[in-house]
Copies of this chain bind each other. A is one copy, B any other.
Amino acid sequence: MAWFSPLTPIFVAVLCVVIAVLLKGFKTEKREKKAQTAVTSKSRPWVDEDLKDETELDTGDQAHEDWVTEEDDVLHIPFSPMRLTEEEMLHRSQQFFQLMNSRRSVRFISSKPVPREIIDNVIRTAGTAPSGAHTEPWSFVVVSDPETKHGIREIIEEEEEINYRQRMGEKWVNDLKRLRTNWVKEYLDSAPYLILIFKQVYGLISSGQKKTHYYNEISVAISCGILLAALQNVGLVTVTTTPLNCGPRIRILLERPTNEKLLLLLPVGYPEEGATVPGLSRKKLEDIMVTV
């Protein structure tokens, strides 16, 4: 060990510097991580946890041993198609386009009551949507209780005000200003029904085990498209809203399980007398379609 002696002080000094640099690196990393956590969790610790979607698409990660599936074999049955002439088809395609093209997002919704059975049929219709591996990963919560509607309004207005003031950034706020959107949402009280659409990020089978819900968000959004068509078909109006950051609080208010995440909220009813809509136009066919 004799050769250590003359170099010891320098050697130790160098080692100390190396260690200091390494430790500093680690600390900085940790501090950054902490800072990130602080930003995301802020004063609402549940936000972070609840928004942690455990799966969007489980492509066979073998680590998830608790993800099981029902393996019953499904018989194939004959398909009975609807038979229409080309003229009928053409006519129907024009009619349906006109019906859907008269749909607008309406933010002024009357409190006039709507028969419940119509809402039931509209939800039934939404439930006919296709879904990944036929998992039907949707829950439609129909709220007509005034107190619950108001509770939802309070959560949304509180969070939306924060969104507008802090989270969204000037550009987004400007984009929405064009549509005269802000965080005061009277329709949440006035609309006879609020339909809250939850995606189930996984399912639960009878044994209590988890079942994968492939492409659940896309499936639920497709279902909402059919729901919007069904509402338009009966002359009811809505505005498609995505309550940013409100999902967890609303989920808790509505006592929905943790595998459900709020995707969309539709206030539904008749339009108010004298309701206005933004004078927007839609893209032309040639701007949305490409032919090959």
* Interfacial residues, chain A to chain B (CB-CB below 8 A): 1, 4-5, 8-9, 11-12, 15, 18-19, 22-23, 26, 58-62, 67-69, 71-84, 86, 89-90, 92-94, 96-97, 100-106, 108, 115, 117-118, 120-130, 132-134, 136, 138-145, 148, 167-172, 174-180, 212, 214-215, 217-218, 221-230, 233-237, 239-240, 242, 244, 254, 256, 263-264, 270-271, 274-280, 282-283, 285, 288-292
- Distance in angstroms from A81 CB to nearest chain B CB is 5
A220 to B180, CA, bound (A): 23
A128 to B225, CA, bound (A): 10
Q: Which of A5, A148, A291 has the most CB of B within 10 A?
A: A291
- Check if A234 sits within 8 Å of B176, measured CB to CB: no
Closest to A272 in B: B79
List chain B residues, Cβ under 8 A from A26: 22
A292 to B151, CA, bound (A): 12
Residue of B124, B178, B214 near A72 (CB, 8 A) is B178
Given that A101-B125, A170-B60, A285-B127 are contacting pairs, would A145 and B226 also be in contact in the complex, using a CB cutoff of 8 Å?
Answer: no
List chain B residues, Cβ under 8 A from A61: 169
A283 to B274, CA, bound (A): 39
Given that A97-B124, A233-B93, A235-B84 are contacting pairs, would A290 and B139 also be in contact in the complex, using a CB cutoff of 8 Å?
Answer: yes
A212 to B175, CA, bound (A): 9
Given that A60-B171, A223-B225, A271-B81 are contacting pairs, would A230 and B93 also be in contact in the complex, using a CB cutoff of 8 Å?
Answer: yes
- Check if A100 sits within 8 Å of B226, measured CB to CB: yes
- Apart from A60-B167, A76-B276, A79-B271, what are 9 other A-B pairs with CB-CB below 8 Å? A22-B26, A62-B169, A67-B171, A84-B234, A103-B128, A127-B285, A134-B179, A143-B292, A171-B212
